Amino acid sequence: MNLDSLYSELTLKTNAKLVLLVLDGVGDLATREQGYLTPLEAAVTPNLDALSKDSAQGRMIPVAPGITPGSGPGHVALFGYDPIEYQVGRGVIEALGLGLELKAGDVAARANFCTLDAKGIVTDRRAGRIDTPVCEELCALLAQKVKKIGATEVIIKPGKGHRFVVVFRGAGLAGPLTDADPHREGLPVPDAKPVNPKSAKAKKAAKLVAEFYKAALPVIAQKKPANGFLLRGIAHQPAIPGFQERYGLRPACIAVYPMYKGLAQLVGMTKLEGAQTIGEQFERYLAEYDNYDYFFIHYKYTDMHGEDGNFAAKRTAIEELDAALPILLRKRPDVLVITGDHSTPCAVKGHSWHPQPVLLHSPISGSDKLERFTETGANSGSLGVFEAKYLIRLMQANARMFDKFGA
């Protein structure tokens, strides 16, 4: 018997309500330049502080020591799946989040509009974070001009800000491919190549991506600052066991950005659409409280400001979430977890491998007698340091969802 089978055998049906509140990329580092404080430590958070006094804390390793996760692996682990076993391309996640129905054999890519200089060097990976209406106009132009490559259909759909999705729909395609993205400025856009060089389907997909670049780049060449684009997470949709079947919980997702809706949809969560602010997200939770057992609520802005290296903005984003927290607590769930999918330190300006802090509150979580929710405090918490894929099991245990194991 493997561990998942044991958990399933021990699972009891209860009426418990579980909430996972993800402050994307919330973990950070205390550096000399930041006055030896993290944004969590510098933020004024009276509501998180009050919750901390009656909660357990710890640190979570997102994948494995030293491995920096993308958002996909980070969330797959939070949902209780092994992120190494279940690898999901960001393109698939983003496409699902935007409401596209992927078919067998479709290859999807997540895209960023970017700025290229005259030599094709990337000077801004996000094209100055163009507004969504600009992205929509550019995508409409590309969709009009590049409808097919040979017999393969090309589907282009805008997301939020500088982001969009490209889906290649044709026979004999597969991923994953390497990213057509240098992941930093000052370099040219690399070619997408098959991760498995022996895969004929992946080779065909890589050739299509190269032909798409040749067809699409001239269309937007004069559209500065968004005169180029980057593709990453180029893959087909994998098979993943459903969340409700796996855990016996009716799950719902309340997220703003398409990628996180796509991640939730991938495991069978219901997407609750419409909310655009964290306050609206919490209000939607209240309205749907009786309809679901598990709520995944996603907050993006901590990660966004960490990637920009903007300490003050990340601190403010934490304070804004804290100010809205009493809305959620009007109907306090049986188990509430507040954490990140990974760390995005301002000093790194990107995701990192550093364990993210986690707060777990339930009637039987106990108190670690910590006055605040911070990285430093979490280091001494009773949850210790554990792999993120076990978080859902700790939530279930705190909801009294497991029978005793053995005599």
CATH number for the domain that contains residue 130: 3.30.70
The pLDDT of residue 1: 75
Q: Choose among 304, 177, 174: nearest CA to 232.
A: 177
The pLDDT of residue 259: 83
Cα–Cα distance for residue pair 82/86, rounded to 1 Å: 6
Last residue of a domain, one of 185, 215, 235: 235
Q: β-strand 251-254 against 270-271: which pairing, if any?
A: parallel
Q: Does 297 have pLDDT greater than 80?
A: yes
Same domain, 227 and 295: no
Query: Which residues, 6 or more positions from 239, have their beta carbon under 8 angstroms from its beta carbon?
Result: none
Residue 110 lies in a domain: yes
Cα–Cα distance for residue pair 60/198, rounded to 1 Å: 36
Q: Quickly state the pLDDT bin for 272 (edges 50, 70, 90).
A: very high
How confident is the model over 259-265, as a mean pLDDT?
A: 88
Q: Choose among 38, 89, 15, 32: nearest CA to 340.
A: 38
Single-letter amino acid, residue 129: R
Q: Does 117 have pLDDT greater than 80?
A: yes
The pLDDT of residue 395: 98
The pLDDT of residue 97: 80
Same domain, 243 and 216: no
Residue 1 lies in a domain: no
Residue 3 lies in a domain: no
Percent of all residues in the chain with a pLDDT value above 70, rounded to a whole number: 100
* Tens-digit pLDDT profile for residues 136-180: 999 999 999 999 999 999 999 999 899 999 999 999 999 899 999
Residue 27 lies in a domain: yes
At how many degrees (to 10) do helices 200-220 and 132-145 cross? Answer: 110
* Tens-digit pLDDT profile for residues 61-107: 999 999 999 888 999 999 999 999 988 888 888 888 888 888 878 99
Cα–Cα distance for residue pair 367/346, rounded to 1 Å: 30
Length of the chain: 407
The pLDDT of residue 89: 82
* Tens-digit pLDDT profile for residues 11-70: 999 999 999 999 999 999 999 999 999 999 999 999 999 999 999 999 999 999 999 998
Percent of all residues in the chain with a pLDDT value above 90, rounded to a whole number: 89
Q: Quickly state the pLDDT bin for 192 (edges 50, 70, 90).
A: very high
Last residue of a domain, one of 183, 200, 235: 235
Last residue of a domain, one of 206, 235, 264: 235
Same domain, 231 and 249: no
* Tens-digit pLDDT profile for residues 309-334: 999 999 999 999 999 999 999 999 99
Q: Residue 221 belongs to what domain range?
A: 102-235
Q: What is the CATH number of the domain that holds 275?
A: 3.40.720.10
DSSP 95: H
Same domain, 250 and 377: yes
The pLDDT of residue 93: 83
Same domain, 60 and 147: no
Cα–Cα distance for residue pair 315/88, rounded to 1 Å: 31
Please report which helix (H) or strand (E) contains residue 167, including its range: strand 163-169
Same domain, 244 and 230: no
Average pLDDT, whole number, for the chain?
95
Residue 204 lies in a domain: yes
The count of structural domains within the chain is: 2
Cα Rg for the chain, rounded, in angstroms? 21
* Tens-digit pLDDT profile for residues 351-381: 999 999 999 999 999 999 999 999 999 999 9
Same domain, 245 and 348: yes
Residue 324 lies in a domain: yes
Same domain, 109 and 50: no
pTM attached to this predicted model = 0.80
Same domain, 79 and 112: no
Residue 200 lies in a domain: yes
Same domain, 114 and 37: no
The pLDDT of residue 118: 92
Same domain, 358 and 253: yes
Same domain, 229 and 276: no
The pLDDT of residue 51: 97
